[in-house]
Amino acid sequence: MSSLFDLTGRRALITGSSQGIGYALARGLSEAGAEIVLNGRDAEKLTDAAETLRADGATVHELAFDATDHAAVRAAVDRFEAETGAIDILINNAGMQHRSTLEDFPADAFERLLQTNVASVFHVGQAVARHMIGRGAGKIINIASVQTALARPGIAPYTATKGAVANLTKGMATDWARHGLQCNAIAPGYFETPLNAALVADPEFTNWLEKRTPAGRWGKVEELVGAAVFLSGPSSSFVNGHTLFVDGGITASL
């Protein structure tokens, strides 16, 4: 049974993995046996994260590129595949947030959200899938959000982008399942991350969240690892186009 969750011999690229959810998933997949490819735009932060993982025994590569730049993504992925080897698992985790009332939401911030949260999933997904298709196998996991299913004030464009991620995931599965790829999404609820630092520091919001969430608390990033390992390994060989909510029950309860 343990072989269903064993990632030994697999190589995983995680975008936006120098901190937060991406870093936690990189550590978790490494502990499950995978070789890790960290990605981010800040090469110095990437090196710091890689060194920390290596100190714990992980095999780690650093691949700095801007996930919103189609040409840069394609060049970086193609070069890595040619010089280092196959990317067996892709986790599209790069993302950003911007909070503002919808009537005052800046147009440039809306465009940045589209590029970072949606276009990057297309750019990196396509670049990696081209190689996976040739091998007849691959795992793609896109990081969606509780906002894939729910909205709250001040983040309407973010909500739109995460809804798009879930539908793009379905499209990837529809096009690529016949080539041996499994394409799924993980939708985290409210987790303590740098992206949510302002909310974590707000006692009023935390009080609301604890009452609104059946589990009664913020999530811990390590609690996303099990879902990621499941969707990365043999255990999910017939799971495709699915969005797995890891949210303490918030989408199940009124």
Residues with catalytic function: 158
pLDDT in tens, 200-240: 999 999 999 999 999 999 999 999 999 999 999 999 999 99
Q: Is the pLDDT of residue 27 over 70?
A: yes
**Domain residue limits, the chain:** 2-193+220-246
Q: Is the pLDDT of residue 64 over 80?
A: yes
Q: Is the pLDDT of residue 1 over 80?
A: no
Q: Is the pLDDT of residue 198 over 90?
A: no
pLDDT band at 163 (very low <50, low <70, confident <90, very high): very high
Residue 196: predicted pLDDT: 86
Residue 197: predicted pLDDT: 87
pLDDT band at 249 (very low <50, low <70, confident <90, very high): very high
Homologous superfamily of the 2-193+220-246 domain (CATH): NAD(P)-binding Rossmann-like Domain (3.40.50.720)
User: What DSSP assignment string belongs to the chain?
Assistant: -GGGG--TT-EEEETT-SSHHHHHHHHHHHHTT-EEEEEES-HHHHHHHHHHHHHTT--EEEEE--TT-HHHHHHHHHHHHHHT----EEEE---------GGG--HHHHHHHIIIIIIHHHHHHHHHHHHHHHHT-EEEEEE--GGGT---TT-HHHHHHHHHHHHHHHHHHHHHGGGTEEEEEEEE-SB-SGGGHHHHT-HHHHHHHHHHSTT-S-B-GGGGHHHHHHHHSGGGTT--S-EEEESTTGGG--
